[in-house]
Amino acid sequence: MEPLDSLASIYPASRFNRDAAFQAAFESDGLTAFRAKPRAVVIPESAEEVIETVRWCHEHAVPFVARGSGTSLSGGSLPVADGIVIALNRLNRILKIDPVERIAVVEPGVVNQHVSDAAAPEGLYYAPDPSSQSICTIGGNLAFNSGGAHCLKYGMTSNHVIGCKVVLATGEVVTMGSESLETVGPDFTGLFVGSEGLFGVAIEITLRLLPKPEQFHTVLVGYDSLQAAGDAVSAVIDSGLLPGALEIMDALSIEAAEAAVACGYPPGAAAVLIVELEGPREKIEEERRQLDEILTSTQPFAQRVAVDEADRLFIWKGRKSAFSAVGRLSPDFLVQDGVVPRSRLGEALVRIQQLSAEADIRVANVFHAGDGNLHPLVMFDGSQPGALHRAEELAAKLSRLCIEMGGSITGEHGVGMEKRDFLPEMFDEPTMRMMHRIRAAMDPKLIANPGKMFPGKEAPALSNIGLHPLEKAGVISRE
């Protein structure tokens, strides 16, 4: 029997597909510059089918990648050539909402926004809010440690995942963490979050929920320069205020958002700043007065306060649509995801503008200003010879700029395929060796999402390193 036929026996014909036309939908993710054709696509509807599939892949040494909505912007969910795509979208059940413990237990294919929708009747919500939250899945958020506009105050996905059941690349099923915020021993949940699918597949995820804020105060501010908007961010943070969100968009991204959703941002603005306070009513009343004084001192030319929830969501609509909206200005673009120390934000923006001018390539800037997470959008026309190469050269300079400033090549999109060559520039050789050892401990055959994160050919399987942290620690349960 052909090995693939034995995998097909796990699934009905409608959920096991080798058709080239069907597989075309899985050849890339949000970073369309990279493409690969999988050997087959399987669509499990239960955790048991995922477990059987991973065990089959381990037995036959066939690489696999788990995929949700495919919104990854780093090539992280790119298929492995001649490997298997495990499409998790049908594992989309919310298994439990516990309003007393303030947790949700979900399957990996649950859409981010649907968690908050389900928790809303209990006065709770799920805080991480990527721009793609209406379509991205919790499994993908976990894999890449996604953030969002409100991560300044509430943290990343890693701050909200307290436990998960995982099938490792060996086919072993383990439980990491629990339904309690208190844990004993090494934080394997924290290790798994952000591992970009290199360890295995999460099949059940326990999330921390937060009480919905009693009141919001959302302000849209227009500035004559990007530098002025950056200085305003510094002024807000230096004052001691901790807003729920601090977001900046430059003129190009504003132009795109206006064309896409007519968001009503101040005409002629070189940059807009969105500041959102949230919390108890009495606290927000005091903080809004403080914020008004700070913003007035930064000399904006326009300022608008959301008058109600609908107006607040309308202000956010422009920011949330920014990435996709840039497609109206350019047929292709690369989304960067670097981080710089907040104290060097203004310097970084000036350098980005200089590099853009030197390369003669337009760059739109959208970023989580409060924590220095930059999202330069490098525009190009892929139909023009050499355009992609030139755009990638500029993107590489932007990544190295972040490293030189003491920052990171990724804040929330992951390393994936796009930035893997820069990892050794961030970390020394002993640290890289340690990463390879941990990876091999979880996946001795290196079949889980191979080719991602690490540059070049990965280190050989290290079956004799004597390191299996899950067994050594004795703090996990097995099935």
pLDDT tens profile 388-440: 999 999 999 999 999 999 999 999 999 999 999 999 999 999 999 999 999 99
Residue 479 lies in a domain: no
Are residue 221 and residue 199 in the same domain, yes or no?
no
Residue 221: strand pairing partners: 273, 303
- The reply to whether 54 and 128 lie within a common domain is no
The answer as to whether 477 is a domain residue is no
Domain boundary among 278, 294, 324: 324
What's the pLDDT at 470?
Answer: 41
**What order of strands is seen across the sheet that includes strand 332-335?**
302-305, 215-223, 271-279, 245-250, 363-368, 373-380, 332-335
What domain count does the chain have?
A: 5
Compute the distance between CA of residue 20 and CA of residue 448 in angstroms, rounded to an integer: 23
Please tell me whether residues 237 and 302 are part of one structural domain. yes
Span 198-236, pLDDT tens digits: 999 999 999 999 999 999 999 999 999 988 998 899 899
CATH number at residue 305: 3.30.70.2190
Residue 314 lies in a domain: yes
DSSP helix/strand/coil, 179: coil
Is 432 contained in some domain?
yes
Domain interval for residue 461: 423-472
Q: How far is the C-alpha of 80 from the C-alpha of 59, rounded, in Å?
A: 17
Tokens standing for residue 125: 């919500």
Judged against a pLDDT cut of 70, whether residue 277 lies above it is answered with: yes
**Do 130 and 73 share a structural domain?**
no
Clarify whether residues 105 and 72 are in a common domain: no
State yes or no: pLDDT of 464 exceeds 60. Answer: no
Question: CATH no. for residue 201?
Answer: 3.30.465.10
Q: Is residue 454 part of a domain?
A: yes
Say whether pLDDT at 97 is over 80.
Answer: yes
Q: Which residue type, as a one-letter code, is found at position 320?
A: K
285: phi then psi, degrees, rounded to nearest 5: -60, -40
| Boundary-marking domain end, from 377, 393, 420 | 420
203 Cβ contact list (under 8 Å, min separation 6):
47, 50, 51, 91, 107, 108, 165, 166, 167, 173
CA atoms within 13 A on the CB side of 181: 8
CATH value at residue 374? 3.30.70.2740
Does 453 map to a domain? yes
The stretch 459-466 carries a mean pLDDT of 39
Q: How confident is the model at residue 458 (pLDDT cuts 50, 70, 90)?
A: low
Domain-ending residue, one of 272, 306, 324: 324
pTM for this predicted structure: 0.90
Distance CA 83, CA 85 (A): 7
Q: In this structure, what are the phi and psi dihedrals at residue 290, rounded to the nearest 5 degrees? A: -65, -40
Identify which of 67, 82, 34 has the alpha carbon closest to the alpha carbon of residue 136: 67
Q: How far is CA 298 from its chain centroid?
A: 32
445 within some domain: yes
Q: Helix 251-261 and helix 309-320: axis angle, to 10°?
A: 120
- Closest to 252 (Cα-Cα) out of 330, 320, 305: 330
Same domain for 136 and 223, yes or no, is no
- Name the CA radius of gyration of the chain, rounded: 23
Backbone angles phi, psi at 116, to 5 degrees: -65, -40
Confidence of residue 478 (pLDDT cuts 50, 70, 90): very low
48 plus 154 within the same structural domain = no
Phi, psi torsion values for 131, nearest 5 degrees: -60, -30
Dist CA 347 CA 403 (whole Å): 14
377 and 347 assigned to the same domain: yes
Residue 289 is predicted with a pLDDT of 95
For residue 447, which amino acid is it? I
pLDDT of residue 467: 40
